[in-house]
Structures are given as C-alpha cells and as structure tokens.
Structure 1
Amino acid sequence: MTDQSRNDIPQRREHPDPHEALNPVPAILLAMIALLLAWAVHYLYTAQPATDPALGDRRSVEILAALPAKAADGGQIFSANCAACHQAAGTGIPQVFPPLAGSEWVTGKEPALIQILLHGVAGSIEVGGVTYNGAMPAFGDKFDDAEIAALLSYIRGEWGNQAEPVTPESVQAQRAATADRTAPWNGGAELVQLK
C-alpha cells in the first residue's frame, strides 16, 4: 500500500458535510404569514389611531363629568393598606402592632386619630395599657380627605367600636392645621395633647 492510498482511506469513510438543498418554505406557512400581515394592516387602518386617547371609550368630557363620583370605601381602603398590621378583625399583633378594636385612640377625639393617619407615628404609644414601640407610616400624601374620612369612619364603627364618623371637612381642617409638619408624631407623648 502506498502512502497516497493510506491517506485516501479515512476520507472515503467520512460522510460529506450536510448542506441545505432547494427546500422551499412550506406554502401553508407563507399563506399564514400573508394573512397575519393583511389582518395587521386592516386593524391599524380601522382602529383610528388618530383619535384622542383620553376618550378611548368614546364618551365625551360632558358625559364623564356628569357621572356621580364614587364614594370612598373605608373597608376596602383598610383591607388594602391597614389589615396587614392591624389585622382584619382589628386585633393587631400582640407586642408588635396595636389593636384598633377597643382602642382609646380610635374611639377618642378625632383630631388625634386624623393626625396619626396624616403624619404617622414613630416611637412608643400606649394602647389598652400596653406600650407599643414602632412606626406607623403617614398616609396624608397617599389619600385625599374623603378617603381618610371613610377609613377613619370605618375603624370607628367596626369591631365593637362605637364612635361618630369622621367627615372630610374635619380631615381638611386637620390637614390645614399641620400643613407645615414633615415629620411623624413622636409617639403617644406628643399626640396626647390632641386626644
């Protein structure tokens, strides 16, 4: 066997490199793509993208202005923002978050309760003879006067609490009285003057 024939043997055993033949894209796939493009062009043409986006449901500003304003739901606001700490039954978490059921802060004079919600509390506060040392966030920048009034009215009338509802006007007056306040109340010692 010659050197040349020894070198040809391994090459004859290998298969040739694969390559794509003249296999066209299936006609059904091309038809589906064409239909999709035709539908997209038709949709964009009939969607009228030049209309005013503020009137997406085709109602005029006059019709929208005539709709009655939906009243704030204190129970829904409580469930979404307060129940995690104060619990759904208003019992709080012992030694961590104070209860709202039977709390003198909830059923007492409303200015203190409104201020707690508007500006929050940081530090120790006594509720039901137990001292809690934590922080309550401020909700004054999150809720408007009607929403705060609805939330406070809800907790003042739930879980056995029997206090008068809070009006949006009371919240507005308290907000105006402490408009320059930027820090939370320093516990119950500072809030007791409002109680």
Structure 2
Amino acid sequence: MSAPAHPDSTDLDRLHSAVKREKEDLAPENRPAPLWATFLLMLVAIVAGAQLGPMTGGWSFDISNPFSIASGGGDPRPNDGIVGDTLDPFALAMKKGGSSYAMCGGCHGPTGLGNAGVAPPLAGSEYVTGGTERMIRILQHGITGPLTIKGQNYNIPNGMQPFGATMSAQDLANVLTFVRNSFGNEGTMITKEMVQKVRDEEKRASQWTDADLKPFAEKNVPGDIPAGPGATAAAAPAPAK
C-alpha cells in the first residue's frame, strides 16, 4: 500500500512555479551592477578625462559645455624655431639634399657605406671630398667601368646612371652638398651656379670613365661659397622653396 500524499505537496509545487514565473534566479556573477556603482564609474571617467586632456595637449573639455571636446591646437612635434626662409644657404642645402639622397641611398646605403657588388662607399671617399668638378660631372652624366676608392677596386655592372636629365641644377647642388658633409665627410658646398656652369660647358652624351675624370680629380668649379665650410661670402638667408 503506497504512502498517502502530503496534503500540501500540490500547493507547494504550484507556489514554486509562480515564483519562477515572476523572477528568474540569477547566478551571483550574472547579477546587474548597482546603479550607484555605474554612476560612480562614469563620474571618475569624466574627471580623469578632464585632467588627462590638458596634460597631454591632445584635447580638453570646454567647461562651458561639458559634452564638447576642444582641440589642444598647435604642432606637438619639437620645433627649434628654424624655418625654411631663415636657414642660411648651407643649412637649407643640407636639409633639402638630405631628402633628395633617398634616390642614392638605395645603392650607397643610408649611412653612405656602400653596398658590395652594387655601389662603392661615399663615407670617406676621395671622390666625394676631392674636387667639386669631378663630383658634379659624375652626378650629371654618370660613371662606369673600374674604380679604386679607399684602396678598394670596384667594377659595378652598368655603372652609375646619370641624373642630369631628371634633376634641376639646384637639386643636384643640394644632394652633392649633403653627401660632401655627411657620413663623416666635410667639404665646401656646391651651388646651383657651379652645377649650371658645368652643364653649360659639358654636353656629354655618355657616362664618364675613371680615366676620363682624372683631369678633374682635384679641380673645383669657381664661384662664391655662401656658407658652410670654406665659405667665401657673407651668409645671407636663402629664400624658402
């Protein structure tokens, strides 16, 4: 004979079902955060943002309108106050020549140490620190064949290509000045007028050889040197370009 059913069992089941319908049980980790905690976090974020903006210079809150973000303004990069139109001619040539050197760095390397089998070094090269006329002629018309630089023999396939047809006299002067005063080198600047003088006198249609350039090894193109090492004229601000 089975035990009699508990007189309240039916009512208890019905009561539990009603409670579950009204409010679902949540695990402790799934319970929503209290409203006061959410408000406190928002307040902390606003105060921290208002303090961080002025410190970093990136942005700050406008007190008159707490929902707007104002730009910090100005260029955050370091600036020594030197601009293009106040640089002396030598400094301006070095700045612009450094940018143009990108066309040379692929072969001669970013530090001017050269690239074995591709191009000889520019650092400490007697071709760089020697006569300015030889340097101008090489960059203007290119060079091919065997070379001896710093006691090392080079014979670069196809040689160095000419840049005279693709670069202005000023651009050539800038990069030549940069090379002559970088990588541990020091030499007088080469001016646009010097480059143009060689261009007007030499209408060569082929690359130079080392033997052809021997007469110009220590020859300097005449002209005033406005600034930098060996300056012969009082420096005057160069116009910005």
TM-score by length of 1: 0.61
Counterpart of 2:147 in 1: which secondary structure? strand
- Which ranges in structure 2 are unaligned for 5 or more consecutive residues? 1-84, 86-91, 218-241
Q: Does 1:77 align with 2:116?
A: no
Aligned equivalent of 2:198? 174
* Displacement after TM superposition at 1:95 (Å): 4.3
Aligned residues: 123
1:109 to 116, 120, 131: 131
Q: Is residue 100 of structure 1 aligned with residue 122 of structure 2?
A: yes
Kept after mapping to 2: 8 A contact 1:125/1:132: yes
Superposed CA RMSD in Å reads 1.4
| Displacement over 2 Å in runs of 4+ | none
| Local SS of the residue matching 1:123 | coil
Alignment match, 2:176: 152
Residue equivalent to 2:212: 190
The 1-side partners of 2:161 and 2:115 are apart by 17
Structure-1 residue corresponding to 2:154:
132
What amino acid is the match of 2:177? S
Letter in 2 for 1:193: P
After TM superposition, give the deviation of residue 94 of structure 1 in Å.
2.7
Q: Given residue 98 of structure 2, which amino acid in structure 1 is its aligned partner? A: G
Q: Give runs of aligned pairs for residues 7-156 of structure 1, distance below 5 A.
A: 73-79=96-102, 81-134=103-156, 135-156=159-180
CA distance in 2, matches of 1:95, 1:127: 14
| Identity, % of aligned positions | 37
Q: Secondary structure at the match of 2:144?
A: strand
Larger radius of gyration: 2
5+ long unaligned stretches in structure 1: 1-67
Which whole-Å CA distance do the structure 2 matches of 1:95 and 1:194 have between them? 26
Q: Check conservation: 1:96, 1:132, Cα contact below 8 A.
A: no
Aligned-partner SS, 1:122: coil
Higher helix residue share: 1
Determine helix, strand or coil for the equivalent of 1:94: coil
1:76 is displaced (CA, Å) by: 0.7
TM-score, normalization by structure 2: 0.49
Q: Which secondary structure does the structure 1 equivalent of 2:155 belong to?
A: strand
